[in-house]
Amino acid sequence: SATSATSATSATATSAVNGMAGYGGVLPNPILHFALQSSRENLNGLLRELPARSWGPAHGSETYESETDAAKNLSRWQPDVRLAVLCWSATEAMKLVSSAGSATLQVDGNALVTMSRPKRTALFKHAGVVADLAGESENRVSDNLYRTRHNEILTQVTPPVAFWSALLPMHPDRHPKTFELIQVALSVATAAALRIKHALAVPRPHELNSAVHPMILTPAHGSLPSGHATEASAVSMLLSHLIATDSTTESATHGPALRALAHRIGHNRVYAGVHYPIDSVAGHLLGETVGEYLVALCRGGMGVQPRKFDGAAATGADVDIESVSANPQDALPLCAAMGDPIDVGGNNQLGWLWAAARGEWGYAGA
């Protein structure tokens, strides 16, 4: 998954102590260990004379004995720990229910997204579309448009942070909490996509048509929905609300561009030969819905519209990859709203990060 690559750096930093690498003998610096011991021995007398005191504000708080699960304590944890806590908060109400070729992502027992598996006859037709795209790309490899798309495909194998940062003036030193919020969105979107992928188990295009010949390694998990489309749409939805003056709605200025970028990222996976066009449509629908749900959890007091993707109704002749550029709900009759909006209350933990990230863009509060 794309998200796993994002967390690789933090995972590597801790694996030497906590993971298999530590078991295999990659230990902390033994020279530093002995140096700290000798330093302590030299300072021992002075250390014993230092008074006991509370350095952390939580330790000295009058509410320390009774207060639990306080959002303010998130500021004391390292980023990977915060991510684990926040992802738990974002997903603890979620559950997947599957039956007869369909999968439903529920929130507190309410259906949030329902998807059904396309028929094999339709998939074979869609695999032919993907093979034709690959052949067209090969024939026009000298065309700058196609060379550019190839570059995008390769650089977007991992989360396309550079592309979001090019569209918005984001920098990890100036917007650290915004980047943490993006990581939460990527983690939750990936989990939702992979769980539905497993439930529907849709074969990849090159498994049905060898002429597809993907230009990159095809991930070893199901095809529908597209994980990249899901992640890109979830992040785009989150960012669009985050930078808006009124965060109950998307940014009127940057929202359309963020959505267009998400669709471009999804399209690229089809041109790479690893997805059908309908995978991207399903992924955008899932990503936008999950993104809206995360925004609602972050700021509170918002309704989230449940949606459905009727893949079983696909015929194989109902998707033009270049035409799928607007809201996924409007792109095809396969996508539709499903029932009334779900009222979602705010989450204190996610609200803390949301307020901090909004502050990086010059806004106070939700």
CB-based burial, 258-268: b 16+ in 10 Å, e otherwise: bbebbbbbbbb
* Cβ atoms of 310 and 144 closer than 8 Å: no
- pLDDT band for position 319 (cuts 50, 70, 90): low
pLDDT digits (tens, 9 = 90+) for 41-89: 999 889 888 888 777 666 666 777 778 888 989 998 999 999 999 999 9
Nearest C-alpha neighbor of 324 from the set 273, 263, 276? 263
- What is the reported pLDDT for 326? 43
Please count the CA atoms within 13 angstroms of the CA of 292 that sit on its side-chain side.
21
Mean pLDDT of 341-364: 94
pLDDT digits (tens, 9 = 90+) for 277-291: 999 999 999 999 999
C-alpha pair distances (Å), 225 with each of 86, 131, 258, 310? 24, 19, 20, 12
Mean pLDDT of 88-108: 95
- Other Cβ atoms less than 10 A from the Cβ of 62: the count is 7
Tell how far CA 86 is from the center of its chain.
13
| 17-26, 79-88, 173-182, 215-224: range with lowest mean pLDDT | 17-26
pTM: 0.86
At which residue do the structure tokens 């906590």 appear? 18
Q: What percent of the chain has pLDDT over 90?
A: 64
* Cβ atoms of 156 and 231 closer than 8 Å: no
- What is the reported pLDDT for 25? 55
